Amino acid sequence: MNFRKEFVVKPGTKVKLSHYDPDETLSIEKGNKEHKGLEKELDKLDDLQYLMYAQKKHALLVIFQALDAGGKDGTIRHVMSGFNPQGCEVSSFKEPTQEELSHDYLWRVHKRVPAVGLVGIFNRSHYEDVLVVRVHKLVPQEEWSKRYAQIDSFEKMLAQNRVTIVKFFLHISKDEQKKRFEARIDDPNKRWKISPDDFKERKRWDDYTTAYEDVLTLCSSEKAPWYIIPANKKWFRNLAVSRILVETMEDLKMSFPPATIDVSKLKWK
């Protein structure tokens, strides 16, 4: 089963999130053979990352976006378990600093793009500038509406310079978000993750949904595709993300570089 084909947003697709089931599991059941193969996917990620690091011809940029409690942190913890931390860096994009605001909105993002041989993971990203900025009306519509084309151009430039881009939207239902908020409130070890802003933002669910639909419609390209991942079930979310990353990295057809010395002439004392 090709997970990329199942969940990719094909360029030109008009996305309506109500048409995507956040409980989808492709008929895979938790605990069956396919689900248990998850550990093998993580082992493959480890091998593929090692190849990428050795060859130094490609970089991998993985972008996660979701509504609050969508599972970005949990998915990143899962993905990181399949990567060597020495070759992988996670960047979180929160409210911009004064220095960042004094530059164009892509400035802080471009600095965090991984070098060849490395993997970069974005927890939120440049898409916040057509999501939060739009929903909260932080800049005029005339300004943020131009950013879709600017972002496409930015990602095209990265792709032309050896950066492979994979973008995941973790799709949960409004009921599932409520359950996760309640679970955080009930668990003393997770209460620190809850803030009044979470409940304020929840009231803007429909606005965020519309904003995400435009992002997914306007900014999914052949070189920087969006994948809509059903994320109500965490185990399936992790399986889908891992499989898509493996499929993407295998397509790079990487190989180890030749030795830099003639090993046949090495002599041991």
Can you tell me which residue has the tokens 């993750």? 193
Distance of CA 45 to the CA centre of its chain: 15
CATH number of the domain at 3-254, please? 3.40.50.300
Confidence of residue 119 (pLDDT cuts 50, 70, 90): very high
Q: What is the DSSP string of 29-69?
A: -TTSHHHHTHHHHHHHHHHHHHHHHHH-S-EEEEEEEESTT
First to last CA, the chain: 52
Confidence of residue 269 (pLDDT cuts 50, 70, 90): low
User: In the chain, what are the domain boundaries?
Assistant: 3-254
Q: What is the mean pLDDT of residues 4-32?
A: 94
Top-confidence residue, 31 or 23: 23
Please give the mean pLDDT across all residues of the chain: 93
Distance of CA 73 to the CA centre of its chain: 11
Confidence of residue 98 (pLDDT cuts 50, 70, 90): very high
Can you tell me which residue has the tokens 């309506």? 16
* Per-residue pLDDT tens over the stretch 145-185: 999 999 999 999 999 999 999 999 999 999 999 999 999 99
Confidence of residue 267 (pLDDT cuts 50, 70, 90): confident
User: H/E element holding 70?
Assistant: none
* Per-residue pLDDT tens over the stretch 192-226: 988 888 889 999 999 999 999 999 999 999 999 99
Q: What is the pTM of this model?
A: 0.95
CA angle 243, 72, 15 (to 5 degrees): 75
On whether the CB atoms of residues 106 and 150 are closer than 8 A, the answer is yes
Count of CB atoms within 10 A of residue 63's CB? 21
Q: Closest Cα partner for 69 from 245, 231, 244, 243?
A: 231
On whether the CB atoms of residues 64 and 90 are closer than 8 A, the answer is no
Q: What confidence score (pLDDT) does residue 33 get?
A: 67
Q: What is the mean pLDDT of residues 72-94?
A: 90
Q: Is the pLDDT of residue 26 over 80?
A: yes
Tokens in use for 133? 């900025």
On whether the CB atoms of residues 215 and 128 are closer than 8 A, the answer is no
* CA separation for the pair 63, 137 (Å, rounded): 24
Backbone angles phi, psi at 226, to 5 degrees: -95, 145
Side chain identity at 137, as an amino acid letter?
A: K
Q: Is the pLDDT of residue 246 over 80?
A: yes
| Those residues with Cβ within 8 angstroms of residue 225's Cβ, 6 or more apart along the chain or in another chain | 4, 8, 9, 11, 165, 166, 167
Q: What confidence score (pLDDT) does residue 193 get?
A: 85
